[in-house]
Amino acid sequence: MGEVAVNGPMSIMAADPAEDLVNGIDGLPSDTKENVEGIINGVAGLNERVKRRAKRPSKFLSKELNRANSDSQVVAPLRALKNSRKSRNGFGRGLPKKGGAGGKGTWGALGSELAEEELDGAIDTNDPNYDETNPENKEIKMKVIHVDRSDEEIQKQISSLVAEYYDHGDTHETYLSLEELNLSVRAHLVLVTAVELAMDHKPSHREMTSVLLADLYGHMLYEPHYAKGYDMLIKNLSDLVLDTPDAPTILGNFIARSIADDCIPPKFLQVIREVDNEHAVTALARSESLLSMRHGLVRLDNVWGVGGGTRPVKYLVKKMVLLLQEYLSSADIAEATRCLLELEVPHFHHELVYEAIIMTIEKMDDRTSAMMCELLGSLHRAIIITPSQMKAGFLRVYEDMPQICVDVPPAYTVLERFVMRCQASKVVGDDVVKKLPVRGRKRFVSEGDGGRVKDDAYF
């Protein structure tokens, strides 16, 4: 084929571009040949490069990459970012699409299982909670049927609740528990059972019982319940005395306390006076004597005494000193033990040991030392005074010996003999004896005995 000549502007397009660059736009030669060669090489490089489509990461990926580069040199794997179900457009809150309810392999929206159960109308038969008697899973209303219970069964349940009350001391919790028994007509059994149970317990529990009966007034117990309950107790006094000899006095205290708490009127004593029982007369006389004394209603708040934990220390010390003095005059260990137990202060028994040793040092006679050792030995064997309390009492005396010796010069000698006597009776151990203080004595030139202590001078 021959060459086709084309005239006009198209001839410029057919010409070699390199030649045009060399000649210039106007056909004139270029100023520098090196510049032209560089341009030709750049154009050739652009024509030879393979053009690919640019894949730019989304805003989400760029942010994650920038954060990873700023924290460390290790770049987070792109696969975890690629498989993320969070929004990538930069406008979302970063939550899963449709709240986790859409897409393959999702758990579904929160609470969707309840909607499925409502649509199905029943739980799956393979479900462990499936009930064949209630396939539609409807709510079942339970009817409480109170079987006719005897008074003995009710009193047994009340006794367990009152015993629990002695442990926690919460009257409101006890009221809620008693209310579940649905006593209504037989609510007076609460008073009867509580008073009978308190007769076998210590004074602090009787005080708690009086507080419980006062707090139940107006909620579960009313005036007719108190009157009926105390009437039953008065009639049963002949049986209660067999187990509790002081039952008439205790019942009289309870009646007087209920009158002071405004649970029953004072005329109650006049209504039940027509009783031929001897024990009932004693109980009513006790109540009248408590109410007729001066400021009786105020004093009845402490009719059972003050609890050991709330009594002043000076009061307890005074009681223990009187206890020991009475024991020295009567030599009745049983009565001293009873008086100590009535104080209800097992954590303060070391004071009794301390006062017993101090009294022995001050008396400085063999009779007092023997009686005190016998009393401490009896309390130790009965585990009324624990070994730790016994040891604490002796160590307190050891610490106070410099002051005691000022008033009683031969205190060290008396103490040593008493400790040895107690060790022989196995009241104290060797660890207490080893800590026995040694008497420090100055030697005077005028004595002439070389500072020897004459032990026989005081006995």
Span 119-134, pLDDT tens digits? 554 556 677 777 777 7
Q: Is 86's pLDDT higher than 80?
A: no
Span 241-286, pLDDT tens digits? 998 889 999 999 999 999 988 899 888 888 776 667 788 888 988 8
Span 424-434, pLDDT tens digits? 999 999 999 99
Contact 386, 349 (CB under 8 A): yes
CATH no. of 151-302: 1.25.40.180
User: Domain 308-434 belongs to what architecture?
Assistant: Alpha Horseshoe (1.25)
Q: What are 246's two structure tokens?
A: 């002081």
Span 180-239, pLDDT tens digits? 888 878 899 999 999 999 999 888 888 889 999 999 998 889 999 999 999 999 989 989
How far is residue 49's CA from residue 253's CA, in Å, rounded to a whole number?
114
- Domain boundaries defined on the chain: 18-48, 151-302, 308-434
Mean pLDDT across 1-24: 45
Q: What are 435's two structure tokens?
A: 């800590």
Same fold, 151-302 and 308-434: yes
174-190 as b/e, with b when 16 or more CB fall inside 10 Å? bbebbeebebeebbbbb
Q: For residue 3, what pLDDT is reported?
A: 44
Q: For residue 50, what pLDDT is reported?
A: 55
Which residue has tokens 């009241």?
Answer: 427
